[in-house]
């Protein structure tokens, strides 16, 4: 038994050492370390609905209040403003200046950076106005509602030099960073396919005040084509980014289909979709999402010749899992008074009661959250340094472009490629 425990400890130390080495390779690590230069970064939040409020709480929860101050918030919906002000009060933070339009905010208050958490269709003109004013931007994903607006955001970043980060927070998750490093170092062998899905069982609607039906599209903007591409921009874009990141490539084409199968309630966006993205090396990214069944939840499967990873659940499965130690199993059976005939002459003998292989963890001591808190802190650090890793923006840009091309594939029923003018 001592020998068995020794081997267990050896394997544990090996896994921990491997995890540490993988994290050291990542350009995104230690993002919650204390900041340094003593000057407070002045932040504004544009859009303080559900997502904006979540981002406020996450930032206020970090122990770095000496490095930043949220000095202003902007929204054109009073209930959202009121809810955000309650968060400031709850955390004992100074009351921010309030604006109903981002143009007035930019004109009347000095800001270093803004967090843009408005509905998708408003991302582009807000982010562009802020960058043109010399304000750095962290914008929620996807970048914009149209291909042209997405490219305009990128071009404005290049023209002004203002930082532009897009909210694909899994780039900052230790599980995902560790997994991608292992993949790039050959842990899975040659990648054959990536599969992902995001399944929910709800109508995705938010309540509209009964006496204000005209607020329907304002509140439920995710359900209308003018404002959102639904499951594509709000969910799939996260997982397409992971596929691009893992493969270190962008797709060459996409095919797709979708329909409103279940929620026939006046919405315009599909409630179920399926797409296949093809990559230059022949790898396929197979994706589906729906709103009427939650059994399978959210997951990314990266499948290679040596193993598979399930990133959402922090699991690795080798193609050659360890076999049950036959003699030890026999001893265990004897100890339990279970006797049966068994052939033990061959070196490859494994009993029928072989231990079920349940995989291994990608990283131990998994952090709480999905990387969003780290993303917010990273944004503040980038503002202090006046620079940000360009590859992160390119991940956001290419993902946003190919997400919208996926929408075109569904609408046209044809295979879609990327027009040259959107390539960067």
- The string of pLDDT tens digits covering residues 393-412 is 999 999 999 999 999 999 99
Looking at the DSSP assignment, which residues form a beta bridge with residue 164?
Answer: 137
Closest CA to 299 of 308, 307, 108: 308
Q: Where are the domains of the chain?
A: 174-319+359-369+391-422
User: What's the pTM?
Assistant: 0.85
Question: CA 57, CA 306: separation in Å to the nearest integer?
Answer: 41
- Cα 82 to Cα 47, 74, 89, 96, 308: the distances in Å are 12, 11, 11, 12, 46
Closest CA to 177 of 68, 31, 295: 31
Note the helical H segments in 133-223: 147-160, 174-184, 216-219
Closest CA to 329 of 354, 349, 309, 311: 354
Closest CA to 68 of 386, 389, 381, 375: 381
SS3 for 383? helix
Predicted pLDDT at 330: 59
Cβ count near 320 (within 10 Å): 7
Strands (E), 200-271: 253-259
Question: CA 180, CA 385: separation in Å to the nearest integer?
Answer: 26
Closest CA to 243 of 303, 187, 160, 318: 303
- The string of pLDDT tens digits covering residues 317-329 is 999 887 656 555 5
Question: CA 186, CA 46: separation in Å to the nearest integer?
Answer: 42
Residue listed under structure tokens 């559900």: 50
CA atoms within a 13 Å half-sphere pointing along the CA-CB vector of 330: 11
Question: CA 396, CA 154: separation in Å to the nearest integer?
Answer: 10
Question: CA 49, CA 76: separation in Å to the nearest integer?
Answer: 10
- Cα 392 to Cα 87, 135, 138, 242: the distances in Å are 30, 18, 11, 12
CA atoms within a 13 Å half-sphere pointing along the CA-CB vector of 268: 13
Predicted pLDDT at 355: 52
Residues in the chain predicted with pLDDT less than 70, given as ranges, are: 1-38, 323-355
The answer as to CATH 3.40.50.2300 being correct for domain 174-319+359-369+391-422 is no
Residues whose CB is less than 8 angstroms from the CB of residue 393 and which lie 6 or more positions away in sequence, other chains included? 154, 157, 164, 165, 166
Strand order of the sheet with strand 191-199? 253-259, 272-278, 284-290, 191-199, 298-304, 307-310, 315-318, 360-361
Question: CA 136, CA 115: separation in Å to the nearest integer?
Answer: 9
**Structure-block tokens of residue 281:** 């090396």
Query: What values do phi and psi take at 13, rounded to 5?
Result: -65, -40
Contact between 251 and 237 under an 8 Å Cβ cutoff? The reply is: no
Distance of CA 85 to the CA centre of its chain: 27
């Amino acid at each position: 038994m001592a020998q068995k425990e020794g081997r267990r400890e050896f394997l544990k130390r090996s896994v921990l050492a491997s995890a540490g080495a993988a994290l050291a390779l990542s350009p995104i690590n230690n993002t919650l370390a204390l900041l340094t230069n003593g000057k407070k970064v002045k932040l504004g939040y544009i859009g303080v609905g559900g997502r904006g409020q979540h981002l406020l709480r996450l930032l206020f929860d970090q122990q770095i209040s000496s490095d930043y101050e949220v000095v202003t918030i902007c929204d054109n919906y009073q209930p959202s403003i009121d809810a955000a002000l309650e968060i400031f009060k709850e955390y004992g933070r100074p009351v921010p200046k309030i604006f109903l339009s981002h143009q007035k905010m930019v004109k009347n208050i000095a800001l270093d950076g803004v967090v843009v958490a408005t509905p998708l269709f408003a991302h582009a003109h807000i982010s562009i106005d802020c960058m043109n004013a010399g304000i750095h931007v962290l914008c929620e994903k996807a970048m914009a509602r149209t291909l042209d607006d997405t490219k305009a955001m990128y071009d404005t970043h290049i023209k002004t030099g203002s930082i532009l980060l897009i909210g694909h927070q899994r780039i900052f998750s230790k599980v995902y960073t560790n997994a991608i490093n292992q993949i790039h170092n050959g842990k899975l062998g040659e990648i054959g396919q990536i599969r992902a899905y995001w399944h929910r069982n709800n109508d995705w609607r938010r309540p509209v005040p009964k006496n204000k039906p005209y607020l329907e599209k304002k509140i439920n903007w995710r359900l209308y084509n003018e404002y959102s591409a639904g499951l594509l921009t709000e969910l799939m874009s996260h997982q397409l980014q992971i596929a691009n990141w893992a493969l270190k490539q962008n797709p060459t084409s996409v095919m797709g289909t979708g329909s409103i199968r279940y929620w026939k309630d006046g919405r315009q966006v599909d409630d179920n979709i399926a797409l296949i993205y093809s990559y230059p090396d022949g790898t396929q990214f197979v994706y589906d999402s729906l709103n009427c069944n939650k059994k399978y939840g959210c997951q990314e499967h990266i499948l290679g010749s040596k193993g598979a990873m399930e990133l959402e659940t922090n699991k690795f499965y080798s193609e050659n899992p360890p076999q049950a130690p036959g003699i030890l199993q026999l001893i265990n059976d004897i100890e339990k008074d279970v006797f049966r005939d068994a052939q033990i002459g061959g070196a490859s003998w494994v009993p029928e009661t072989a231990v079920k292989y349940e995989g291994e963890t990608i990283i131990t001591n998994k952090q709480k959250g999905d990387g969003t808190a780290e993303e917010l802190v990273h944004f503040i650090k980038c503002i202090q340094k006046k620079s940000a890793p360009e590859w992160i923006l390119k991940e956001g840009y290419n993902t946003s472009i190919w997400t919208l091309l996926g929408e075109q594939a569904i609408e046209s029923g044809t295979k879609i490629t990327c027009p040259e003018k959107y390539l960067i």
